[in-house]
Amino acid sequence: MTALVLAPHGTSPADRLKDAAAVAFIALLLGIPMIGLLTVDQGGALRVATRWPTLFAFVAICFTGRLILRLAIDRLRAAKQARERSDVELAAADRTASPWLTWIGWAALGVALALPMVFSENRYVVDTATTVLIYVMLGWGLNVVVGLAGLLDLGYVAFYAVGAYTYGLLSTQFGWGFWQALPVAGAIAASFGILLGWPTLRLRGDYLAIVTLGFGEIIRIILVNWTELSGGPNGIASIARPSFFGLPFKPPGDEATFASFFGLEYSTNHRIVFLYYLILALALLTNLFVSRMRTLPIGRAWEAIREDEIACKAMGINARNVKLSAFAIGAMLGGFAGVFFAARQGFISPESFTFNESAIILAIVVLGGMGSQLGVVLASLVLVLLPELGRDFAEYRMLLFGAAMILIMVWKPGGILSHREPTLRYRANGGRR
């Protein structure tokens, strides 16, 4: 009793032994019929055979396993408490921006810039990195809706699809180029964001999630069934690839190409590397835009809506407009990513815009730490690279993926980076800003 009072969160070795013994006992009870007894076919009749040594080995494994697990949990918990205590102390000491986070951010940018130069001949690496960056951009876009405004959106892929199909149609039907279509697709995706936002203004949390999930499916089903517009399940093919300021990436011919203009030997890798730098630039612009918006009145209002909508109304904030702007801007960024996706693939079909994609993008935001820009990058790396690395494990790949997600959530319930940086400070480095 005293031990409990003195150490409510920790357990003594005796407690751990008792706990492990209880688990071993349950294992024994379950194990007798499941492991201890075995039916064997003996001359046409079923006989019961016993396997006591195997059973005892099983019970012993359960006992030690539980002991180790308990010990590990207690260790982690103690470490976490120590960390939280120091966090409180640091907060009390009015700490400024954690410098190592900024440092990691710059290092990540350096790596991202250098990557295609180092791996210029390795198409697989650059392609995978491009995929990571698409998810980073989508994550940053969804972060506005989910991380900042706190509106749980399970249908984000719909805006990605709207962007991709807008460019696909503009390109194949009207011959528009990538750069012309980009703002138009963004605007159309944003208006779809408002279209979704309008009926869901009164909803929050679970209910909002269900409606947005439905919206995502509606868009996909329309794309599958409206064959005249979208090509149905066959999708849209031969979408124009982006060119380098008017110079296409083609084998040498009559017209000037990227390779001929710069006097390079033609290589298919040129386009791959260009696409990589293009999405890097788009993602960085997105990051700059979202980070800047966060420190503006509208960004603070997004966060305030997440924190307490009623208090916002009492402060004279029009919650409807604030929510719609979050939906619109999140959707616009998703639309931009969609345009890039269509341009990169050259072919789009409803297959690419399933609920699974929405779930992965949401997982990136949640795992990264709601509202954290750098967290999104780390989570995208984990969620895209893990299935890639897991290819060797064949059918266990998704299992591995799920286990990693669970581990991250257990280890860091607030996401990989859950620290929130204030948008403005009274004391910045000792004085006024």
Partner 1 sequence: MSQPAPLLSVERLTMRFGGLLAIDDLSLDVAARRITGVIGPNGAGKTTFFNCLTGFYKPTVGSVRLNHPQRGVLRLETLASHQVARSAQVVRTFQNIRLFPQMTVLENLIVAQHNALQQASRFSLAGLLGLPGYRRAETAAMEKAVGWLQRLGLIDKADTAAGALPYGMQRRIEIARALCVDPLLLCLDEPAAGLNPRESAELNELLKHLAGVEGIAILLIEHDMSVVMNVSDHICVLNYGRKIAEGSPAEIQRDPNVIKAYLGEEEADELGSDEEHRPEGVQ
SS3 of residue 7 by DSSP: coil
SS3 of residue 339 by DSSP: helix
CA-to-CA distance for 327 and 153, rounded, in angstroms?
A: 9
**From candidates 424, 429, 430, 431, binder to partner 1 by CB under 8 A:** 424
> x/- site string to partner 1, residues 403 to 422, per CB under 8 A?
-----------------x-x
**From candidates 56, 266, 289, 355, binder to partner 1 by CB under 8 A:** 289
Q: 193 vs 231, which CB is nearer to partner 1?
A: 193
> x/- site string to partner 1, residues 81 to 110, per CB under 8 A?
-------x--xx-x----------------
- Is 332 near partner 1 (CB under 8 A)? no
Are 180 and 338 a contacting pair, CB within 8 Å?
Answer: no
**From candidates 34, 296, 406, 407, binder to partner 1 by CB under 8 A:** 296
* Alpha carbon separation from 159 to 106, 210, 347 (Å, rounded): 30, 16, 17
- Is 304 near partner 1 (CB under 8 A)? yes
Nearest to 275 by CA among 302, 244, 252: 244
CA-to-CA distance for 28 and 35, rounded, in angstroms?
A: 9
**From candidates 37, 109, 312, 381, binder to partner 1 by CB under 8 A:** 312
* Minimum distance, C-beta of residue 312 to partner 1, in the bound complex (Å): 8
Crossing angle of helices 157-174 and 319-345, in 10° steps, is 50
Q: How many chain residues bind partner 1 (CB under 8 A)?
A: 33
Q: 252 vs 297, which CB is nearer to partner 1?
A: 297
Q: Which amino acid is at 261?
A: F
- Is 201 near partner 1 (CB under 8 A)? no
Tokens of 214: 């439905």
Q: Which stretch binds partner 1 (CB under 8 A): 133-141, 171-179, 183-191, 289-297?
A: 289-297
Are 204 and 312 a contacting pair, CB within 8 Å?
Answer: no
* Minimum distance, C-beta of residue 93 to partner 1, in the bound complex (Å): 10
* Minimum distance, C-beta of residue 201 to partner 1, in the bound complex (Å): 12
Residues 343-382 that bind partner 1 (CB under 8 A): none
Crossing angle of helices 373-389 and 397-411, in 10° steps, is 150
Give 8's DSSP letter: S
Q: Which amino acid is at 433?
A: R
User: Residues interacting with partner 1, by CB under 8 A?
Assistant: 88, 91-92, 94, 289, 292-293, 296-298, 300-301, 303-304, 307-308, 310-319, 420, 422-427
